[in-house]
Amino acid sequence: MNQDRLSTAEEQQKFMREAIRLSLENVQSGKGGPFAAIVVKNNKILARGTNQVTYTNDPTAHAEIGAIRDACKALGTFQLDGCELYTSCEPCPMCLGAIYWARPERVFFGNSKQDAAEIDFDDSFIYEEITKSLENRKIPMIQILHQEALAAFHAWNLKKDKVKY
**117-140 pLDDT, tens digit each:** 999 999 999 999 999 999 999 999
- Tell me which residues are annotated as active site: 64
Check pLDDT > 90 for residue 5: no
pLDDT single digits (tens) 69-127: 999 999 999 999 999 999 999 999 999 999 999 999 999 999 999 999 999 999 999 99
Residue 88: strand, helix, or coil: strand
Number of H helices, E strands in the chain: 7, 4
Crossing angle of helices 63-75 and 93-102, in 10° steps, is 20
Which residues, at least 6 apart from 130, have a Cβ–Cβ distance to it below 8 Å? 93
Which residues, at least 6 apart from 7, have a Cβ–Cβ distance to it below 8 Å? 15, 40, 43, 84
Mean pLDDT score of the chain, rounded to an integer? 95
pTM: 0.91
